Structure 1
Amino acid sequence: SSGPRLQRLDLAEEAIRLARILHRLLPAERESAGLLALLLLVHARRAARTGPEGEPVLLEDQDRGLWDRAMIEEGRALVVRALTGGPAGPYGVQSAIAALHDEAADVESTDWPQIVALYDVLLT
C-alpha cells in the first residue's frame, strides 16, 4: 500500500481520542496508560512515515526531525505509569519498545539490547 490509504489520520486520531477517554475513566489501570502511550508514540512518527509519493519510509530512514516531540514526551510519561507497580502488561511493554525507538537520535543509538529484552518479555 502507498499514498493516502497507507495512513488514515482520521482513524489514528479517533483511536487516540478513545484511548484518552479510557485512560481518564480508568486512571489506575496501567494497561490503559500503556495503550495510550503506544498510540501516541507510534502516531508521533506519522509525518516521517511516508515519502513524497506516499511510499512507506523505513524507521531507519525517517527524518526524526519530523517526529512530534510533544507527543513523544506525553507518551514517555505514560510509559512510566504503565511500567510502575508490578509486572507490565502487553501494552506497557509495547509502549516501552516504541519509546526506545522514539528516544534514539538515530538508528545506531537505539538501545537494541533493551528492545530485544522487551520482546522476550512479550514472548513469555
Structure 2
Amino acid sequence: MERTTATPATPTGALWFLRVAVLLHLAAILWEGATAGQLVTFNTEALPLHYYGAFGVHTAAALQVLAAVLYWRGSGLGPGPARTVLLVSLLAFGLGFPQATLGTYGPLQVHVPLALVLTGTAVWATVLAWRRN
C-alpha cells in the first residue's frame, strides 16, 4: 500500500503579486497616517506630502484589486478565499475615494474615522492574502 503525504500548495505568481500589492497599500496608508500626524501638529510643510500620498494610496489600492482579480481568476472564479480577498480589496479601493474627498472638501470629523475604517479594511485584505489556505 502506497503512503502519500500532503504537501502545502506553493503560492502562485498571482498570489505573490497580491501579497506585494497589499503590503504596498498598507505602506501608503502608513505614510498618510504619518503625514497626517504632522498636519495636526500644524506642520504645514507636510500638506503636499499628505496630498500626493493619497494618489499613492489610490494607485496601490488599484494594483491590489488587479492582483486580487488575477488571483481569483487563477483560483477558478468561484467562492472561497480568493473571492473574499477580491471583495475586501474592492471595498478598500472604494473607501479610499470618499475618504480622500472628505479630507479635501469635508469635515475632518468624518475624514479621520473613515481613514481608520480604510486602514482596518486594508489590514483585513493583508491578513487574507498572507494566511495559509
Q: Which structure is higher in helix share?
A: 2
